[in-house]
Chains A and B, each alone.
Chain A
Amino acid sequence: MTQIELRGVQKFFGAVQVIKDLNLKIDDNEFIVLLGQSGCGKTTTLRAIAGLETIDGGDVLIDGKPVQHLKAADRDIAMVFQSFSLYPHMSVYENIAFPLRAMRKSKSEIDGEVRSVAKVLQINDLLGKKPSALSGGDMQRVAIGRALVRRPKAMLMDEPIGALDAKLREEMRAEIKRLHIKQGSTTIYVTHDQIEAMSLADRIVIMHEGVLQQVGSPSEVYKRPANLFVAQFVGSPVMNVANAAVTMNGSGARVTVDGAAEGFLFPAELVSQLDAANVGQDRLALGIRPEGVMVSREPADGYLPVEAHIIEPLGSYDIVDLKVGAQMLRARTRSGFVGKPGVQVFAKLDPAQAHFFDTASGNSLGVRL
């Protein structure tokens, strides 16, 4: 049972504050992914938990005990580095045995544990090799083996598959997930790759400029982004965001994107929800993911005529840029659905997938339709 908690953690590098009052509670056996752009403080947070970085304020608690004054060696936490950091002068066997030797275990115990970890990771036949003779994926397996072998309280992973090529990354992603399910240890994983985060995490922690933006399950952060940063950082292709005006029109509401002649039709309760949020029209932004933009080749009820611009054929689907007023809205369509750029098609927004944000604060207004 290992719980990790960060309470009001602060960290400065000189005058620059890289972690700003971070509060986070990680449950036993949970797979947490810290997601953010480079320089957002995610790696520093991980290193602070590991004990490789001191903190300037707050507490790091492991199983309820503050550990910020403990050395890395005394925290019983394992870490996998982006560069793998396998000791080049030691064989794979010695690399995996290295943490056990620190615990002064007997030779036979060490041998047993190294071999059992090697079996789990299917690296038995690599044990005699030097790290320089291994492929990227094998180096990664050995690095994970070295972290797993002493059954630490928690595993920290700093972009462990960032240095691998795309195909291998996908394989290793699955392997890490499989291992986590099998071994079940509290894991904190740092990445800037949102696909990695979505596919691995029980909960994703999104950070930006040292500030925690949102914590939630992959589907929560995807479907209910807390603010514009999360909305645009999570999801590929990126969510469409446009300044918009909302007017009441008969039985329904109309959402008019900047510069557009006509507005998209929305349910009337949008107006009351926006009123409750109390945000002026000039600070309102509409966010909608490409799959929330529905496209028709024929005129239909509620669909507005728009012009197709660039079409990106991505194999299983196309991304089509639609010119709406001064904005481009990207829509996801069936492959080949829109014949060629320049044709007129008809578009409608799915109200259930629409998000509204306050452009001043960037926060979501919590509108649910």
Chain B
Amino acid sequence: MAAVTTSAERSLNKLAIVGVLIVTIIFLAPIYWIASTAFKPRNLATTIPPTVVFQPEISPFVKLFTKRSQLRTAPTPEQYAAAPWWERLVFDGGEKVVRSGRGDVQWSGYPNRFMNSLIVAITSTILAVGMGTFTAYGFSRFKIKGEQDLLFFILSTRMLPPVVVAIPMFLMYRAVGLNDTHWGLIILYTAFNLSFSVWLMKGFMDEIPKEYEEAALVDGYTRMEAFFKIVLPEAATGIAATAVFCFITAWNEYAFALIMTNRRAQTAPPFIPSQVGSGLSDWTVIAAGTFLFLLPVAIFTFLLRNHLLRGMSFGAIRK
């Protein structure tokens, strides 16, 4: 059908584009703020009005990854000349990098916390999406006694803000020794995400025609083979969408991570703000930590964007 646009429609379109631009700017402003602060020298981080044009620096990232202490006396020119380029950046900021007795550079807590975040978020996402997919398949394909009640029960686990059970969970975790362990957080996040994953995947499973599996069954495959060879590839879009949501939830979770972990298994979200109080509040380091923390979700979402675009419509658009 040929579309005929009147001038009124055209100006309305322009207005809409301007509106979208404004909303986009409002939404992206905090991200810009974090990203730009991550590359600012410390003295420009908190200026009023904010500094927009500046010479970007890598020093906040060096500081983020190293353990530092205040310089009591300025380094000697020999010390300064002998230091690698990144250490000089720390010297410039009035600090020095802490070294062990053998002279090894001491790392900050950040790389470990970041790694913990990755381990916990990825494992819990795989578990939640995996179990959710199987459960959804079961509900979608088989007659189950009390199916509606069971599905409602599964959904009901999300009707309570999770943090209200934080104290009993903490006591239970302490009793069984899951406090401050990776598995403790993984189990917790898997439990949060499972109900969501089951419901979302059930929607996708219902959209996959039963005939595909039936065709595979008469073609000589077992139900399990049919599931893996036919249903899973067909559900890829749904799995991708569900995985992104689950990953974001687990990645960004703050309250339980703060309560349930303190060192060994602590994830990045409770760690980053904890840096505010240690010595000077160096906002550039916090911004650098936050900026790096944003990247995995951004990359993950970007990689799955094609699936997401189709998946967000909850299976409504199918070829």
Contacts and interface: CB of A to CB of B under 8 A. Distances in A.
A102 B225 CA distance: 9
Contacts of A102: 219-221, 225
Given A88-B319, A132-B319, A78 B230 contact: no
Interface residues of B, number: 18
B214 A81 contact: yes
A146 B219 contact: yes
A77 interface: yes
A102 B220 CA distance: 6
Contacts of B319: 88, 132
Contacts, number: 61
A224 interface: no
Interface in B201-247: 209, 211-212, 214-222, 225, 230, 233-234, 236
B218 A103 contact: no
Interface string A83-108: 10101110000000011001100000
Interface string A56-76: 000000000000000111011
A150 B218 CA distance: 11
Contacts of B211: 81, 83, 85
Interface string B150-181: 00000000000000000000000000000000
Contact of A77 (B218, B221, B230): B218
A40 B319 CA distance: 31
Given A83-B211, A87-B212, A132-B319, A72 B218 contact: yes
Given A51-B217, A52-B217, A87 B222 contact: no
Contacts of A146: 215, 219
Interface residues of A, number: 25
A347 B215 CA distance: 54
A102 B221 CA distance: 6
Contact of A73 (B222, B230, B234, B236): B222
Contacts of B218: 50-52, 72-73, 75, 77-79, 156
A150 B265 CA distance: 55
Q: Which of B211, B214, B218 has the most chain A CB atoms closer than 10 A to its own CB?
A: B218
Q: Which of A75, A85, A88, A102 has the most chain B CB atoms closer than 10 A to its own CB?
A: A85
Contact of A85 (B215, B221, B222): B215
26 contacts: A51-B218, A71-B217, A72-B214, A72-B217, A73-B218, A73-B219, A73-B221, A73-B222, A75-B218, A79-B215, A81-B211, A83-B209, A85-B211, A85-B214, A85-B215, A87-B215, A87-B216, A87-B233, A89-B233, A98-B219, A99-B219, A99-B220, A102-B220, A132-B319, A146-B219, A156-B218
Can you list the 10 inter-chain pairs with the closest CB atoms, starting with the nearest? A102-B220, A85-B211, A99-B219, A85-B215, A72-B217, A89-B233, A79-B218, A73-B220, A81-B211, A72-B218
